[in-house]
Amino acid sequence: MFKMKKIKLFLIIFSFLFIALKPIGYLNDFANLLTQNQKQEIEKKLREIEEKTGNEIVVLTIKSLEREKTIEEYANEIFNSWKIGKKGKDNGVLILIVLNERKIRIEVGYGLEGLLTDSICGKIIRDIMAPNFKENDFYNGINKAIGVIYEIIKGKDVEIKEEKNIPPIGFFLYWYFMCILFGYFFAGLLGLSLELFIILFLQIFTFINRNTYLYQPYILFSLFIPFFFLFILLPISYYISVRFERKLKKYYGKKWKKHIPFYLRNHINFTSSKIGYGGGFSGSFGGFGGGASGGGGATGRW
């Protein structure tokens, strides 16, 4: 068990080196500008904004930019690879803070360009973020900026989520497994009946004697019919399960975990990238909604 953990930890540490930057939540403080409590507070705030309005505000802090890349290019790249905002609505905002270059960029998704104009973004950077950042007060700068952005964009696109109508995942899984079981059962029955039919057909309407060698292959063939059905059904059911899971994940987003019944929870947590240790670091982030941006927003420095 201990060894498992070690291997996992090793993988997690090294995955950061090899795989491109991946989001760990709405707040991605990779430059460590905030304390643990401040991180939790901002993450909670951003989560609440998403739950209330559907708008996805993401904060990313990094130490320095990759070579030969402007902050605008980098922000656009991250925005579109993380797919911040809901698909079709493109209601995402990315606040990128680069520590060493002392640069800030607010990148706005297509859907919010009308509300959160470039000049408003510039003003937020100049009047709210930069003054606080100059005094090394990153928490206040970020927090206030989020508050202002929230106020500006909350008027539009209030997404009412029907919490009550979400059926529990356990219900789905139960019926899904039942369908597979019954499917196999009925396929088996169908195969058997076909098999019987062939045997009867051969006996009644053909003149092949039961004892001749000609009869043997037919019997053999008909014996395999249920298995044929099994082999057809297996890939189909696998395909359906994959599609189904993806759809559910998309539908629930980060709530996906909440609805897993208790008897499956341990298993699913084990197979996903959930990390049970390391204070406050939870790898169970489900990703953003699939939004896009076209380079709207503003850049500033402090």
Partner 1 sequence: MKKLRKFVVLAVLFIIFIYSIFQYNKLVSLDQKVKVAWAQVENVYQRRNDLIPNLVEIVKGYAKHEKELFIQVTEARTKWQNAKSVSEKEIAASEIDRVIGRLLFVVENYPQIKASTNFLSLQDELAGTENRIAVERRRYNLAVEQYNRNAKLFPNFIFVRIFGFDSEKNYFQATEQSQKPPQIKF
Which of 72, 137, 195, 245 lies at the binding interface for partner 1 (CB under 8 A)? 72
- Give the number of other CB atoms < 10 A from CB of residue 85: 29
Q: Candidates 159-167, 183-191, 237-245, 294-302 — which segment interacts with partner 1 by CB under 8 A? A: 294-302
Binding of residue 111 to partner 1 (CB under 8 A) = no
Binding of residue 122 to partner 1 (CB under 8 A) = yes
Which of 192, 275, 295, 301 lies at the binding interface for partner 1 (CB under 8 A)? 295
Q: Candidates 151-159, 223-231, 249-257, 291-299 — which segment interacts with partner 1 by CB under 8 A? A: 291-299
Binding of residue 91 to partner 1 (CB under 8 A) = no
> Residue 234: how many CA atoms within 13 Å on its side-chain side?
6
Tell me whether residue 25 or residue 297 sits nearer to partner 1 (CB atom): 297
Binding of residue 131 to partner 1 (CB under 8 A) = no
Please count the residues of this chain forming the interface with partner 1, following the rule CB under 8 A: 16
Binding of residue 294 to partner 1 (CB under 8 A) = yes
Binding of residue 144 to partner 1 (CB under 8 A) = no
Which of 118, 137, 157, 195 lies at the binding interface for partner 1 (CB under 8 A)? 118
Strand pairing class (56-62; 27-29): parallel
Binding of residue 297 to partner 1 (CB under 8 A) = yes
Binding of residue 156 to partner 1 (CB under 8 A) = no
Q: For the CB of residue 154, give the shortest distance to partner 1 in the complex, in Å.
A: 22
Handedness of CA 106, 107, 109, 112 (dihedral sign): positive
Q: What are the beta bridge partners of residue 96?
A: 60, 105
Binding of residue 117 to partner 1 (CB under 8 A) = yes
- Which residues sit at the interface with partner 1, rule CB under 8 A? 72-73, 76, 117-119, 121-123, 126, 294-299
